[in-house]
Amino acid sequence: MNVADELLTGNVLAGGRAIRWLDDGDPRGAQVVSAIFARTGRAHIIGVTGPPGAGKSTLTSALVTEQRRRGRRVGVVAIDPSSPFTGGAILGDRVRMARHSTDPDVFIRSIGTRGQAGGLSRSTHDACLVLDAMGYDVIFVETVGVGQDEIDVAALAHTTIIIGVPGLGDEIQAMKAGLLEVGDVFVINKADREGFDAAYRQFELMLHLRADAAAATDPPWSPPLLRAVAVTGEGIPGVADATDGHAHVLRDTGEFVRRSAKRAVDQTLKLLQAGLTERVIDRADTSILAAVEARSIDPYTAAEHLLRTLQGQQAP
Amino acid sequence: MNVADELLTGNVLAGGRAIRWLDDGDPRGAQVVSAIFARTGRAHIIGVTGPPGAGKSTLTSALVTEQRRRGRRVGVVAIDPSSPFTGGAILGDRVRMARHSTDPDVFIRSIGTRGQAGGLSRSTHDACLVLDAMGYDVIFVETVGVGQDEIDVAALAHTTIIIGVPGLGDEIQAMKAGLLEVGDVFVINKADREGFDAAYRQFELMLHLRADAAAATDPPWSPPLLRAVAVTGEGIPGVADATDGHAHVLRDTGEFVRRSAKRAVDQTLKLLQAGLTERVIDRADTSILAAVEARSIDPYTAAEHLLRTLQGQQAP
């Protein structure tokens, strides 16, 4: 049996291998996706994001436990910052997740960021397809920060959880603003800490402003603001209720399928863009690039010229 | 006089207009870059990055003061997270920077993130070109987080300052690992806070690991680890000495010019990629994308097919 067939039966070794191939850009990964794609689109993909120190891993781990309690098979895609030093491993997080390692119905995989713009969301999308085909009902995608990568990752989830935490400064709250639009469920974690009330009010205000700005969302969904203490499990069932409820609304309105379809098209365009860029760079007139280096042609003029040259190569 | 000529004389209104055009993708922006490009490549571009709460704005503001004391004209490009709610404005930071607002030799501009992969570093590069052409000697680029965007921005600076801070957890330190490779000067800010010694040791260890991994850097530069209390100005002259020293080494070895040249080529390829993608999406066979939506063709096969179709359109 080949890797695609194996992973469709739920074989974790085959699943892990496919994800590694895809993360590495190994062409066998693309073959696996071709073979499994028709069997995907069923899993509920939940993005978990928030600033450093908000307790994303602990909350994700608690939600995994809760979803298992609800009888679901659970996958986790953890996005590690690539680093030659840590190898992307965050030891503390690994330990927190370790309690699921003996559960055959939980599958956790880390993927690297590869340092390539757009590469992260491409790899994450592929990993979600593999876990989806393996039959996991719920897939958590846990990001590391609050930048553009996180917004891209949120775009590929059905449901995005944004985690806040008491006691972080103005800068954090402002950063979160960029993520506010993509949040479906908001959770203030570490709610037993000093500063909870202030953080709650800040989030409430932001959500209120958002409600004004986007009165008619599709589907109609009013993002709840919840409190949790992930280390003790307090508030976790409420968070799971909220994500389950959101999935329910998405399925009822047909939005679940539409989001999956949109993701697949986005992925196609990203792959197309990557492939094109590779070919163009292979063929680009290097004398123009040398002129840019020497500052005798500016980047805009050079790019325009290269584009025109490529068009000139095409049949009329 | 046109905007390009005006900004070359240092006119801040013209400079601001050019940056806005470039940030908005207005074609007049590209014309300005074409007109000024030959006059750029002189300014020392310093990236300032670190996790939320590390005090990036305060430290940048203190470094602006110090560079002014050294007789230099200073530009600042602040990257705001785009947001329909805050308009990207971080009020506290604006206030901290306000003390420079009456200094005619300091020019501060915010640019948005536009929510487009690669768009941030493109806009930032353009803004740096404008400030460079306006005659600012040192340009600080202040980012908002520690994600891929920040690594991209670091790639366009001559010198990158990574700020740490006492009392942040494992997750922060791990996140920083992705940025470690691009750091030229490390500063632990808020050094009067509890936890300084632990943070210092953590950074020391990470830098030691890095030194082992990259024994032969080009040019030879051993990144210093400095302490600062930006709000009081403590340690700030030392940070300025370090960035000035780094610029000196870069200029002496010819690396300063090489980095500027590499940035210009990168910018050209990014513009080329954006232009190509736009054209391809305009022409793409939408029936294939519909098949992807219906999950009857997978993204890899569809992208490969679209690439082949485009090649088929080209003359042999």
Reading chain B (316 residues) residue by residue, the pLDDT tens digits are 699 999 999 999 999 999 989 888 889 999 999 999 999 999 999 999 887 678 888 899 999 999 999 999 999 988 765 433 333 344 444 555 666 777 888 998 877 655 455 566 788 889 999 999 999 999 999 876 656 666 777 778 999 998 888 876 554 554 545 566 778 999 999 999 888 988 888 888 777 766 655 544 567 788 999 999 999 999 999 999 999 999 999 999 999 999 899 889 888 888 887 787 777 777 767 788 889 988 989 999 998 888 887 665 543 3
Of B147, B170, B180, the CB nearest to A145: B147
Rounded to the nearest 10 degrees, the angle between the axes of helix A255-283 and helix B299-312 is: 40
List, for chain A, all residue ranges whose pLDDT scores fall below the cut of 70: 1, 52, 80-99, 112-120, 144-150, 168-180, 209-218, 284, 310-316
Identity of residue B278: E
Nearest to B32 by CA among B43, B17, B13: B17
Which residues in chain A touch residue B268, judged by CB atoms under 8 angstroms apart? 288-289, 292, 299, 302-303, 306
B45 strand-pairing partners: B139
Tokens of B62: 């203190």
Q: How many CB atoms lie within 10 A of CB A244?
A: 17
Which residues in chain A touch residue B306, judged by CB atoms under 8 angstroms apart? 268, 272
Which residues in chain B touch residue A52, judged by CB atoms under 8 angstroms apart? 51-52, 146, 168-169, 171-172, 175
| Burial class of residue B123 in the structure, from the number of CB atoms within 10 Å of its CB (0-12 exposed, 13-18 middle, 19+ buried) | buried
Q: Are strands B44-49 and B138-142 parallel, antiparallel or unpaired?
A: parallel
Rounded to an integer, what distance in angstroms lies between the CA atom of residue B108 and that of residue B74? 9
Rounded to an integer, what distance in angstroms lies between the CA atom of residue A265 and that of residue A183? 22
Which residues in chain B touch residue A206, judged by CB atoms under 8 angstroms apart? 85
Of A33, A145, A281, the CB nearest to B300: A33
Residue B228 has φ and ψ, to the nearest 5°, of -150, 155
**CB of A15 closer than 8 Å to CB of A115:** no
Task: Give Cβ neighbours of residue A133 (< 8 Å, ≥ 6 apart).
Answer: A7, A8, A36, A39, A40
Distance in Å, alpha carbon of B81 to nearest chain A alpha carbon: 6
Residues in chain B: 316
**CB of B146 closer than 8 Å to CB of B179:** yes
**CB of B59 closer than 8 Å to CB of B189:** yes
Alpha-carbon dihedral sign for residues B92, B99, B10, B59:
negative
Which of B42, B123, B130, B171 to substitute to test the interface with A, most A CBs within 10 Å? B171
**CB of A210 closer than 8 Å to CB of A181:** yes
Q: Strands across the sheet with A185-188, in order?
A: A106-111, A74-79, A138-142, A44-49, A159-164, A185-188, A225-227
Nearest to B64 by CA among B246, B248, B251, B230: B230
Q: How many CB atoms lie within 10 A of CB B296?
A: 11
Nearest to A151 by CA among A169, A129, A124: A124
Tokens of B150: 């920040």
Identity of residue A289: L
Which residues in chain A touch residue B149, judged by CB atoms under 8 angstroms apart? 147-149
Interface touch B170/A90, C-beta < 8 Å: yes
Q: In Å, what is the CA distance from A214 to each residue of A251, B9, B88, B204?
A: 21, 44, 18, 47
| 3-class DSSP state of A314 | strand
